[in-house]
Amino acid sequence: MGEGVKSSMPAVTAMAHPNLALVKYWGQRDTVRQLPLNDSISVNLSGATTTTTVQFDVALEKDEFELDGARPSAAAVARVSAHMQRIRALAGIPTYARVQSRNSFPAGIGIASSASGFAALTLAGTRAAGLALDAKALSSLARLGSGSACRSIPDGFAEWLAGTGEDSYAVQLAPPEHWDLAIVTVYFDPQPKAISSLEGHRAAPSSPFFEARLRQLGETLRTVRWAVLERDFSTLGMAVEREALSLHVIAMSSRVAGQPHLSGIYYWQPQTLALMHAVQRWRAEGLAVAFTLDAGPAVHLLVEAENRGALLEAVGGVLPALGGQVLVSAPGMGARVVDEEKGKFNAESRVF
C-alpha cells in the first residue's frame, strides 16, 4: 500500500479474552522479543473480555489510546503505540491510529488484561491496516505486545510453542466446546503488585529451583496436554495445581534486583492460601475441583461444568469471610472481529 493508503480507513473492532495458563510461562529467553523459556498451555476465559476498536486516520499526528473511557498512563500509551508501529511496518503505512479499548473486568485482580488487550489490538489493528494475517502470524505478532497475548488468539485451549529461533506462537490444542469446564476466578480488592510480572520473569533464573522446574516441565506439559485431550479431570487438576505451585516456588525463591529487603516474591495473600486449603478440603469431601494461580493473589478454581453449582455453593460458604468476588468462565473463543452495530459476531470476519 505505502503511498497509496486511503485517507479514510475503516474502523475495525475485535474482541479477545484473557487466558488462564494451565502450564505457566515464567522466565524469558529474550525479553525484547518476548521469547519464553518453555512451552505453556492455556484456556481462554469466556467471562472476561477486552473489546478494542482501531481506526487509522491521516489527520492524526500521533497514536491516540483510550482505555475504559479514560487516558491511560504514558507507559501504557507508549506500549500500545510501539505495537501499532509494528503493524504499520508490516502494512507499509505511515498513518497513526485511534485506539479505543474496553475491559469487561477490573484491572489488577490477577486476570491479565494485557493478554486479551494485545490479542484484540493485534487483530483489530492488522485488519484496520488492511492486513489479513493468518493465525500463526497474528499469534506471533500479539506475543510482541505482551508474551501471553499469543495464547488469546486461538479459540479454546492453546499451546504456546516456545520455539528455538526468533519465532514463537500459540496453536489451538482443542476448541472451546471440546471440554465443558467451568472456571471460577475468586479475586480480591485490587492491590498494587510490589513486583511486576516482568520483574518476576527477569528474576526467575536466580531461583535455585529454576533448572529443576524447567526439567520438570516436559512431563507437566505431556500430562496436561493429554488430560485436556482426554478430558481427564483428576489428572488435569493435580497437574495444574502442582504446576501453579511450581511457578510460585520460583517466584518465592527468586532474588529480586534492587529489592534487598525482599527475600523472595510473595504473590499469595492470606486469602489465597485460605482458598488453597479449602480446595484440598473440598476434594477430600468428594468435589472434583482444582486450583491454579497466576502471578497474583487471585485463585482460579476449575471444575467440570456439572460441578459448577456445587463449586459455587462451596465458594459462597467461604467468600464472606475472605471478602472476595467471583468471575465465572467457560473455555472461551479466540480473538475475533465483531460487528459493533449488531452487537454480535461478524461471522464473515472470524479468522478461525
Question: Would you tell me which residues interact with a second copy (CB under 8 A)?
Answer: 194, 208-209, 211-213, 215-216, 237-238, 241-242, 245-246, 249, 252-253, 261-264, 266, 268-274, 276-277, 280, 283-284, 290
SS3 319: helix
Q: What are phi and psi of 350, to 5 degrees?
A: -60, 135
Q: Is the sign of the CA dihedral 335, 245, 196, 169 positive or negative? A: negative
Smallest distance, Å, CB 347 to a second copy? 42
Burial label for 278, CB within 10 Å (0-12, 13-18, 19+), is buried
Smallest distance, Å, CB 171 to a second copy? 27
Q: Which amino acid is at 92?
A: G
Q: Which is nearer to a second copy, 63 or 243 (CB)?
A: 243
Smallest distance, Å, CB 338 to a second copy? 39
Smallest distance, Å, CB 211 to a second copy? 7
DSSP string, 171-224: EEEE-GGGS-EEEEEEE-S----SS-HHHHHHHGGGSTTHHHHHHHHHHHHHHH
Smallest distance, Å, CB 109 to a second copy? 18
d(CA 47, CA 28): 28
Helices (H), the chain: 74-91, 113-128, 135-145, 197-203, 210-230, 233-252, 270-284, 308-322
Smallest distance, Å, CB 244 to a second copy? 9
Smallest distance, Å, CB 205 to a second copy? 13
Q: How far is CA 71 from CA 100, 190, 199, 343, in A?
A: 10, 20, 25, 25
Smallest distance, Å, CB 305 to a second copy? 21
Q: Which is nearer to a second copy, 62 or 277 (CB)?
A: 277
Instruction: Pick the closest to residue 173 from 120, 236, 127, 126 (CA basis).
Output: 236
Angle (nearest 5°) at CA 225 between 222 and 226: 80
Q: Which amino acid is at 174?
A: A
d(CA 77, CA 79): 5
Smallest distance, Å, CB 234 to a second copy? 8
DSSP label at 73?
Answer: -
| Grid cell 482501531 in the structure block, residue | 54
d(CA 265, CA 254): 7
